[in-house]
Amino acid sequence: MKSGNTKVFPGSASAPVLPVGPTVLPVVLLVLLLGACVSSGPDQFGAPLDRKELVVQRVEQYLQQGEVGPAIDRLTYGLRRELLDRAWAGEALLGIMEEWHRDYHQALEGREYGRALQLHWNLGVLREDPLGIELEIPPELLEPPDLSRDDLLLRWAELEIEREEPVLALYLLLRRSTLADLDPERALRFLEIARTFNNDEAAGRILEDLEGSSWGDESMPLLAVPSRTPPQMLEGTVTVWVNRGMRISQGVGVPDRGIGSGFFIDPRGYLLTNYHVIYSEVDPTYNGFSRLYVKLAGRPNERIPARVVGYDRVFDLALLKVEVDAPYVFSLSDTRRLTPGERVLALGSPGGLDSTITAGIVSAEGRRFFQMGEAVQIDAPVNPGNSGGPLILPDGQVAGIVFAGIPQFEGVNFAIPSYWVRHFFPRLFQGGEVVHPWLGFAVHAGREGLRVVYVAPGSPAHRAGVREGDLLRSIQGRPVRTLSAAQDVILERRPGDILDTRWSAGSQREEISRVIALDSRPFSPIEEALKRQPIEALFPVLFGMKVEELSSPPWGPDFVITEVFPGTSADESSLSPNDPFSLRNWRVDTDLRAAFIQIVIRKRKAGFLEGGLQLGSFLETDSFL
C-alpha cells in the first residue's frame, strides 16, 4: 500500500518511514558505506571493565595525580562494598603512609610545622587501622614520630615569636594539651606575652599548669592579675567607616556610607570587625566605589586608611590592618562557653557614636544563625553601628563579636562566640578568604541522631559511599548527636585531614567505619549543587521533604511527597507523605540569599483539595557537614 512517498509496513500501519526518492538515495548509500567500514573483528577498546576494575583504576588515577584524599575516599568505598581485594588495598594504604612519612620529615626540616602537624595527624589515624584490613605496618611507620603534637605546637609557637607574631604564638601554645612541661624560662616568656596582650586566660593556664614552680623576684609583677577599667578598654575600640560614594534615592544622590565597630587584637594595628561591614572591599560582585577607614576612640574627626587582611563569610568576620600602634589590645577567650544569665558588656559605635558601652546578660546560647557553629543571644542594647564590636566579660576577656539585632524586638541581639572563632583565627592572618573543611553531606537532626538527607556530588562523602538514610554516630571516637557537636569536631581540622567516622544504617545497631578525607567547603553548597542537579534533588535540605517523580500526563502532578522531616518548613506547612504536587515555578534570589518554589498541591490533610503554596528557604542552610 502506498500513500505518496511514505511507506507503511505491516503491523505498523500508522508508523511513517523515510520517503524514498532521489534525494534520499545518497544518504542511504552513505550509511551503507559507513557500515561496510566497521570492522567485524574483536572490540578495539577491549572488554568492558567491571565495578571492581573501575574502582581500582580510579584509586590509581587519584594517586598518580597526587590526590591522596580522594584516593582514600574511594578505597573506603571499595572496601565497604567488597569491591577491592584487602591485600591490594593494604598495599595502597602503606604506600600512602610511606609518602606521608617522607613528607613529614621534609616539613620538619623546612620548619613547616602546620604541614607537619597535618601529616602527624593523618599517620596517626591510619596507624589505628580504622578500616580493619590488618595492615602489616613496617616498624619505621608503626612507631610514633619522635616529636609529639605538643612538641610540634611548641616549636611552631617559638617560630612565630621569631617572626614577631606573638599573638599567633600564644594561640598555638594554648592548643597544647598541657603546659606543665615548659621550663621556667619559656614559661616566663609566654607569661609575659600573655600579660602584654591582656590574655588572662592564657596567663592563668600557664600559672595553673606550673603550680609549685619557683619564680624569681623579677617575675612577681607578672603573677598578679591586672585590673582593667571600661574606659581603658574603650581605647582599644574603633569605628569602622566605609565610603561607598553616592547612591540614588528617589532621584536624588545621597552619600552611601557603611558604619560599624572593631577592636584591636594585636599591638601592630590588627583589628577584628564583621565581614558585612566591609564586604564592598573584597566582594568581586560589587562594582562600585569603596574606601575603608577607621576612626580611633576619642578622635572622631580623624580617618585612618585601613585594608582587609583576611575574611570569613561563613562566620561574618574580617581582619583589618591599620598603620597605628594599638593603645589597648583585647584577647579572645579561647575556651570559655557562655551560659545564660552571665553579665556582659557591648562596646562599639552605635550610629557612629564612638566609645559607647551598653550592659546586659546572656539570654540564650546555641542559636543557629550561621552555616556552621552557633550564636549567643544577649539583651545588651545593640544598634546599627555596633556590628563588629567586642562583647566582653566583666574581667575584660572578649567572649564574642556583636553582629546583629532584630529591630522589631527590644533586647534581642546576637554575637559570635569567641569559642567558635578559635577554630580558624590564625587563618585570618594568612590573607584572603578563610576556607573551611567539609565532608560533603547534609543531615537532619532528629531523635535517632544525625541522619543523612543529601550527599553532594563529587564530595568526599560521595566518593566514600555515604548514602541518604545513613546515621552518623561518631567522628574520631567522639559521639555526635547534634549538628554543633559534629561541626565542632570538623572545624578543628583542615582540608586534607582524614577522619575516622562511624555509621549505622537505619535501625541496624552494627556500626561501620569510613575513613574520609576532608575537602574545601564551598561558601554556598546549595548554589554549587544547583549547578549540577535539579532543584527537587535539594528539597530535603531546603524544605525538609523527600519527593519522587511521577509518570503522569502533562496535566497531572509532577511529584509525590514520600517523607517530611519534623520541624522543617514542609512540616510547618502541613505537608505530609503521599501528597501529590506540581512544581509550577522556582527561583533563587541572590540578593535575599534565598530559594523559593511555587507548587500546586493536593494535601491529604485537606481532603486532597487542590491549592497553591509557596515555600522559601535561605541558601546558607546550617545542615551541611
Mean pLDDT of 222-230: 72
CATH, residue 577 = 2.30.42
Around Cβ 33, how many Cβ atoms within 10 Å?
A: 9
Q: For residues 502 and 556, state if they share a domain.
A: no
Lowest mean pLDDT among 51-60, 72-81, 520-529, 601-610: 601-610
Reduced to 3 DSSP states, what percent helix, strand and coil does the chain have, rounded to the nearest 5?
30, 30, 40
What would the pLDDT profile of 92-140 be if each residue is shown by its tens digit? 999 999 999 999 999 999 999 999 999 999 999 999 889 888 878 887 7
For residue 387, indicate whether it is catalytic: yes
Mean pLDDT of 378-398: 91
Q: For residues 489 and 412, state if they share a domain.
A: no
Asked if residue 165 is part of any domain, the answer here is no
Rg of the chain in Å (alpha carbons): 30
For residue 290, indicate whether it is catalytic: no
Domain count, the chain: 4
Q: For residues 591 and 506, state if they share a domain.
A: no
N-terminal to C-terminal alpha carbon distance within the chain: 67
Residue type, 543: F
Q: What DSSP designation does 145 have?
A: P
pLDDT at 457 over 90: yes
Distance in angstroms (rounded) separating the CA atoms of residues 473 and 505: 10
Q: For residues 328 and 411, state if they share a domain.
A: yes
What would the pLDDT profile of 345-375 be if each residue is shown by its tens digit? 999 999 999 999 999 999 999 888 888 988 9
Q: For residues 387 and 532, state if they share a domain.
A: no
Around Cβ 164, how many Cβ atoms within 10 Å?
A: 8
Options 200, 312, 316, 488, the catalytic residue: 316
Distance in angstroms (rounded) separating the CA atoms of residues 608 and 585: 21
Asked if residue 119 is part of any domain, the answer here is no
Nearest Cα neighbor of 507 from 563, 564, 461, 451 is 451
Q: For residues 441 and 557, state if they share a domain.
A: no
pLDDT at residue 213, as a whole number: 57
* 143-149 contacts, C-beta under 8 A, 24 or more apart: 145/104, 145/120, 147/108, 147/120, 149/117, 149/120, 149/121, 149/176, 149/177
37 vs 44, 131, 439, CA distance in Å?
14, 51, 50
- β pairing state of 432-433 and 304-312: parallel
Q: What are phi and psi of 514, to 5 degrees?
A: -130, 125
pLDDT at residue 214, as a whole number: 54
Options 101, 276, 355, 462, the catalytic residue: 276
Domain boundary among 483, 502, 523: 523
Helix (H, G, I), strand (E, B) or coil at 519: strand
Q: For residues 410 and 494, state if they share a domain.
A: no
Options 349, 363, 387, 524, the catalytic residue: 387
Q: For residues 282 and 346, state if they share a domain.
A: yes
Helix (H, G, I), strand (E, B) or coil at 150: helix
Residues comprising the chain, all counted: 625
Q: For residues 256 and 293, state if they share a domain.
A: yes
Asked if residue 222 is part of any domain, the answer here is no
C-alpha cell at 14: 500508522
Task: Give residue 511's pLDDT band: very low, low, confident or very high (50, 70, 90).
Answer: confident
pLDDT at residue 143, as a whole number: 67
Distance in angstroms (rounded) separating the CA atoms of residues 273 and 259: 11
Distance in angstroms (rounded) separating the CA atoms of residues 369 and 387: 15
pLDDT at residue 6, as a whole number: 35
Asked if residue 159 is part of any domain, the answer here is no
pLDDT at 470 over 60: yes
Distance in angstroms (rounded) separating the CA atoms of residues 240 and 235: 14
CATH, residue 281 = 2.40.10.120
pLDDT at 46 over 70: no
Instruction: Print the domain residue range for 464.
Output: 436-523
CATH, residue 441 = 2.30.42.10
For residue 569, indicate whether it is catalytic: no
Whether the Cβ atoms of residue 501 and residue 471 lie closer than 8 Å to each other = no
Asked if residue 309 is part of any domain, the answer here is yes
pLDDT at 337 over 80: no
Asked if residue 500 is part of any domain, the answer here is yes
Lowest mean pLDDT among 3-7, 81-85, 495-499, 524-528: 3-7
Q: For residues 293 and 395, state if they share a domain.
A: yes
What b-and-e string marks burial along 85-100, b requiring 16 or more CB atoms within 10 Å of the CB? eeeebbebbbebbeeb
Asked if residue 357 is part of any domain, the answer here is yes
- 171: Cβ contacts below 8 Å, ≥ 6 apart: 334, 422, 425, 426
Q: For residues 255 and 288, state if they share a domain.
A: yes
Distance in angstroms (rounded) separating the CA atoms of residues 222 and 191: 7
pLDDT at residue 557, as a whole number: 74
What would the pLDDT profile of 288-302 be if each residue is shown by its tens digit? 899 999 999 988 889
**% of the chain beyond a pLDDT of 70:** 87
Domain boundary among 486, 504, 523: 523
C-alpha cell at 258: 557603611
C-alpha cell at 369: 544563625
Whether the Cβ atoms of residue 486 and residue 475 lie closer than 8 Å to each other = yes
Handedness of CA 169, 118, 433, 387 (dihedral sign): negative
104 vs 97, 118, 285, CA distance in Å?
10, 9, 40
For helices 166-174 and 149-162, the axis angle rounded to 10 degrees is 170
Asked if residue 385 is part of any domain, the answer here is yes
Q: For residues 531 and 587, state if they share a domain.
A: yes
Domain boundary among 394, 428, 462: 428
